[in-house]
Structure 1
Amino acid sequence: MTESDDLLRLENQLCFALVTAARNVVAVYRPILEPLGLTHPQYLAMLALWERSPRSLHDLAADLALDPATASPLVKRLEKDGLVRRERSAEDERRLDIALTDAGAQLRERALDVPRQVMARVGMDGGQVAALRDGLAPFAGRRPEEF
């Protein structure tokens, strides 16, 4: 086997490592989020809303690196569960604003322990998690067309 053949080994592929890691990370979160009644995508949406609410659907989708058409069903499910409400903006009726309900805001307290539980399950501390996250920075927060 030559060095160029080694480049094509599955185990040497960045894409495979990232896809596998992403799938495994979501699997770690699943049992932790289940008692909160949240899926991983819903958890991410709630994190963004706990940072700022109300906010437009377009803004929320952008922060989640989703298209608004993909974020919309996610928000509808959160609304059905009583965690958010969708309302037309008073400033621009074309804009759909997403706001936390009281139940959605209160869920934040129950979610405070999620990061600690994740770190315990993967055997990492806050510094290690931050270093891993920072190492992914070249790939995070960018759209594919930006590469």
Structure 2
Amino acid sequence: MRTLKQLKFSNQLCFPIYALSRLITSHYQPFLGELDLTYPQYLVMLLLWEHQSMNVKTLGETLMLDSGTLTPLLKRLEAKKLIRRVRSKEDERVVNIQLTPQGAALEQQAAETPLRLAESLGITATEMQDIKDAITPLLYRLKPALKG
């Protein structure tokens, strides 16, 4: 049976990226379990620790999540008292997500997570940054295609 070279499994870009994403996410689990966060909840909290407040639309665009995925995630974080949803006074269609004091305090507990992850993966912080620097440009080049 003849297989076209471009269709060989070993020549595919998608599988190593897909498998690596799953494996890295699984390495986060013990650390995030200590914080009582899922991986998507952790991503939301990272953005809020950085910006203090974001509207739902910007949060969804940044995380590349649609409202059907983001809304239940935010409800669970609100139930844990880590965030609060506040309607904008200027435009009631806009919902802002803000950290609660409890959510802000969780940042200190999470501070070592990136270093612990690198250690768990057996790579240095520099190697982790190099990998991120290599893939991020492609991610953002492809991101506009998600909207179409």
Residue 113 of structure 2 is matched in structure 1 by: 114
Report the 3-state secondary structure (helix = DSSP H, G, I; strand = E; otherwise coil) of the residue aligned with 1:35. helix
The TM-score, its normalising length taken from structure 2, stands at 0.90
Greater helix share, 1 or 2?
A: 2
Residue 6 of structure 2 is matched in structure 1 by: 7
TM superposition shift of 1:145:
4.3
TM superposition shift of 1:101:
0.5
Counterpart of 1:79 in structure 2: which amino acid?
Answer: E
1:68 aligns with 2:67: yes
TM superposition shift of 1:11:
2.3
TM superposition shift of 1:97:
0.8
Distance 1:16 1:138 in 2: 19
TM superposition shift of 1:146:
7.7
Cα deviation digits, residues 72-127 of structure 1 (max 9, x gap): 11111100111001111122111111100000000000000000100001111121
The runs of 5 or more residues in structure 2 that have no matched partner are none
Q: Which runs of 4+ in 1 moved over 6 A?
A: none
The runs of 5 or more residues in structure 1 that have no matched partner are none
The TM-score, its normalising length taken from structure 1, stands at 0.91
For the Cα contact (< 8 Å) 1:11–1:17, is it kept in 2?
Answer: no
- Equivalent residue runs for 1:118-129 within 5 Å: 118-129=117-128
Distance 1:59 1:146 in 2: 14
Cα deviation digits, residues 19-61 of structure 1 (max 9, x gap): 1011101101011110100010000000011111221100111
1:136 aligns with 2:148: no
Q: Which moved more, 1:98-107 or 1:129-138?
A: 129-138
**Aligned Cα RMSD in Å?**
1.9
Percent identity between the two aligned chains? 37
